[in-house]
Amino acid sequence: MLLQIDGSRHDWLEGRGAYLTLIGAIDDATGKVPYALFREQEDAQGYFLMLHQIVDSCGIPMALYHDRHGIFEHSKREPETLEEELEGRKKPTQFGRLMEELGIASIPSYSPQARGRIERLWGTFQDRLVSELRLAHARSLKEANQVLWDFLPRYNKRFVVSAVQLGSAFRQPEEGFNPDGVFCFKYHRVVGTDNVVR
């Protein structure tokens, strides 16, 4: 199961409120949008929330196809730390660590054309969803998310196609899986001799 994920910053509320970023995922095989949400900006926490909902409702996807945003991977221009040089690889970002812990393959794309399915979805949503938001007189982030979550089931019912291969490609989490221990930010800290946490 390959999900394409991305964020789209746009004037979703057409001047009735602040610019918002829509963070979402689309199933590459069926065109289903398993989850999406509006955020004030494209941030790691938004992607954490989105993936948490997808894992809860569908299971763990095999792979995520994404752009090379700093949320997903470090810039090649950033110098490696000594620790990273010795290890032979860069430390993952918080979201990269989350994907590793869940066993999700990370596939970076190198052009918008390669992410065609999700880019077309944003084009569709910037037409259809904007109209829905206008009809609902949505003016805030909370109202926009309510409209979005009412819109998604109708969108999926109308546009989802059957996958070529039957069966789910999502893996179910192992028994005893603790989402709170995975869907969180983890930092390496050191306590100095003066008892100060650094």
Q: Read off the CATH number of the domain in which 138 is found.
A: 3.30.420.10
The neighbour count for residue 86, using CB atoms within 10 Å, is 8
Per the CB < 8 A criterion, the answer to whether 25 and 15 are in contact is no
Q: How confident is the model at residue 122 (pLDDT cuts 50, 70, 90)?
A: very high
Among 97, 92, 156, 100, smallest CA distance to 125 is for 156
User: d(Cα 26, Cα 21) in Å, to the nearest integer?
Assistant: 16
Is residue 61 included in any domain, yes or no?
A: yes
Is residue 188 included in any domain, yes or no?
A: no
Among 14, 36, 11, 37, smallest CA distance to 26 is for 36
Is residue 198 included in any domain, yes or no?
A: no
Per the CB < 8 A criterion, the answer to whether 109 and 115 are in contact is yes
Q: Which residue has the higher pLDDT, 115 or 25?
A: 25
pLDDT of residue 92: 84
Is residue 112 included in any domain, yes or no?
A: yes
| Domain count within the chain | 1
- Determine the structural domain holding residue 52 and report its residue range: 2-181
Q: Is the pLDDT of residue 82 over 80?
A: no
Q: Is the pLDDT of residue 168 over 80?
A: no
Is residue 191 included in any domain, yes or no?
A: no
Among 33, 22, 51, smallest CA distance to 183 is for 51
Is residue 51 included in any domain, yes or no?
A: yes
Among 108, 104, 111, smallest CA distance to 70 is for 108
Is residue 89 included in any domain, yes or no?
A: yes
Is residue 155 included in any domain, yes or no?
A: yes
Q: Is the pLDDT of residue 40 over 80?
A: yes
